[in-house]
Amino acid sequence: MCGIAGTARIDGQDLGPEADALLELLADTLHHRGPDDRECLRTGPVGLAFTRLSLVDPEDGSQPLVSDDGNLVLIANGEVYNHRELVAGLPAGTRMKTGSDCEVLLYLYREHGLEFLNDVRGMFGLILFDRARNQLVLARDRFGIKPLYYHRDDRRITLSSEIKGLFADPATPRAFDWESSLEIPYLAASARFGGPGTGTWFSGVESVPAATILRIDLRDGRTDSHRYWEMPTDAEEGVSAEQFVERYRALLEQSVQECATADTELGLFLSGGIDSAAVLALAAPQLPGLHTFTALSGGTQVNGDAEHANWLATSLGVENHQVVFDRDHVPTPEEWARLVWLAETPMTGPEVYYKHELHRFARAERPELRGMLLGAASDEFNGGYSDELSGGAGWESFVESLRYLDRATRLDRHPGLRRWWAEGHDFFSDAALAQSLGDATTDVYQAYVASEYAKVQQYNVWHEDRTAAGSGTEARVPFLDHRLVELTAVIPGHLRPRLLWNKQILREAVRDLLPARIAERPKGPFFYGSGTWHAYRMLIRLLRRDDGELVERALAAPGADQYLDGAAIRRRLTEFGDGETNAPAAEMLMRVVNMGLLAEMAAAPPRLSDLSAGPVRVSLATATATGSGADATPFGAEHDHPAEGVLAFTADVQLLTDTQESWFLLNAGQIEYVLEQDSPVLRVLSLLDGTTTFGDVLDKAGVHADEVRSDLEALLGERLLTFSG
């Protein structure tokens, strides 16, 4: 991952020396994306700024990259996974000057023009200056994994990997776009299919579309758009389910292998579900000493993610760091505002917060780590939401839900008909509606996939990029290899129930790699599901913190008086209780407040480095003690008077609590036991301090020795406790 930015005259003039200050500001703003190196270049009408995070060829991969004839200049953010294969296909005599995986893009462009990305596998945003043609070429990967934004007027265009970089240019409007943002269906979690394109949330800011090349003539600003990839729609008939599974396995293996290639350390987020588990099983043999990171929170304890992740990591012999989120922890208003500014989206919520904190912990724990493997975007294209959308009633019910979404989406386009849409019914036949709306969608599953493709860009890869970038880390997403997505897109209708129900194609593809406990485990939403109330309670407490500071800041932001009802927001916040709540309205309210925060910060853009992210999460222990160093002795075996001795935890053992119901005994950051609330052994363990005698501990706990004898002997035998006479 890197930061790329630039500015160019599009009126036939050259940039002057005054542009150098802007280039330095752009580089400063994107420093967190590339803390290892930076370069600025001004040549003719174009100025480029580059900040580097070194994953491939750390010693010899700096940018800008220049072709051997000097006609092409390139800066790129991302990875070209098949660069060696592409280099081998270049004309004889072509020589690479660096070990950068992106250098091949120069010669592919020289050889193939606007078709130069057709065979490229990877994730990238790029800015290429074609001196000979006096053109600027901008492009992004097929899924928009790597961002690239711009603002332009009739004289100049400014570009940046992050929107906040554009605000370094005085020509860029500094305003949140309330009107356009409110039209993005994903923001309101609307039961509709999303339209094509990605909103940027800010006035005057545009995004280079995914799978698209923009070519700008620097003499007059004329711009051509070339789409180099589309989601396939023609089904592959005559292919068996077994053949699809076999092909999926082979492609996934190759994708993980490519994503797990780097010259620096990589880590992996392990949730305990099939997606990250599959990536782990395929990546672990290639990455000896791999470290995985799991959130231990109220939600992940209740839904089983933390337990399954730790169990799987132990089974596969890899390190698993269980990052503890205490049940009562709430970020400060400044920490939340910083996160929203980093993420640049009002859709910042619990998932974004927890992932950001995991990245911070990982980078602090493993300073040489530069990349993180993720199981993201498997659900969207493998049928991961089918069971949820069907209400557990099967494939036909899932398809019926998609028809409902399609009908609602089509009715939304006709104001008159929308008035009849009440409680999910409008009483009109498809034939009647076709006169106003056109024929009903022929294949609602394809329409659903197209909507998920747009959602991935607007939410998934957007926040995965920013949460990783905030810690100088690159997020890698093996499930967004376009060949995998193409394969699932062409599964014929009669095989979809067999392969795309609850990710069966993935489960069957990796069945031999994973224990059945993981391979068949039902999907559990990240930080949601049965433990949702933990995340929502955090949001409610955050909104109330410091006399509602975030709410008041949002209501005072530019434009808020026109679009927000302050009395309604304050009243709704008051209505929430402080205990369990599964009301999604808590997250919707947070999104409204986030819009105001973005409007405030856009008007007076802060430096990210000036905002506090708070302490890095290592663990939050409510009871922690270390042993005195005495040898462990089985309780009661060699002591006539054990009450006079001292029972203590051994080094690296911690007793932690995350919810009101559950406590955890951790050894070196890994869960060894989950203890029941108010159990006799928990009452004893919670009083151990390394000095109080065992007899006194029993008295304080109100526990008889026989009640805990077998449990304590087991813990002593496993050397989680010591006993000194």
Q: State the catalytic residues.
A: 2
> C-alpha distances in angstroms, 338 versus 594, 609, 614, 623?
11, 9, 10, 31
C-beta separation of 379 from 385 below 8 A: yes
Give the C-alpha separation, 529 to 661, whole Å.
17
| Strands, sheet with 223-227, edge to edge from the N-terminal-most edge strand | 65-66, 72-80, 122-130, 135-140, 212-217, 223-227
Give the C-alpha separation, 268 to 288, whole Å.
12
C-beta separation of 362 from 293 below 8 A: yes
Token pair, residue 227, equals 């789409």
Token pair, residue 399, equals 């398809």
Burial class of residue 538 (count of CB atoms within 10 Å of its CB; 0-12, 13-18, 19+): buried
Burial class of residue 96 (count of CB atoms within 10 Å of its CB; 0-12, 13-18, 19+): middle
> C-alpha distances in angstroms, 11 versus 14, 16, 46, 205, 449?
9, 13, 12, 20, 41
Give the C-alpha separation, 712 to 724, whole Å.
14
Give the C-alpha separation, 643 to 692, whole Å.
10
Give the C-alpha separation, 704 to 722, whole Å.
19
C-beta separation of 149 from 202 below 8 A: no
Taking every pair of Cα atoms in the chain, the longest distance, rounded to a whole number of angstroms, is 94
**Kind plus residue range of the DSSP H or E element containing 543:** helix 532-555
Phi, psi of 122 (to 5 degrees): 155, -165
Dihedral, CA of residue 690, residue 696, residue 698 and residue 701, to nearest 10: -90
**Kind plus residue range of the DSSP H or E element containing 46:** strand 46-52
8-state DSSP, 115? G
Q: Could you tell me which residues come within 8 angstroms of residue 534 by beta carbon, excluding any fewer than 6 positions away?
A: 297, 298, 299, 302, 327, 527, 659
Give the C-alpha separation, 218 to 207, whole Å.
19
C-beta separation of 90 from 268 below 8 A: no
Give the C-alpha separation, 209 to 227, whole Å.
9
C-beta separation of 544 from 300 below 8 A: no
C-beta separation of 273 from 305 below 8 A: yes
Give the C-alpha separation, 107 to 97, whole Å.
12
CA-nearest of 252, 532, 262 to 375 is 252
Burial class of residue 686 (count of CB atoms within 10 Å of its CB; 0-12, 13-18, 19+): middle
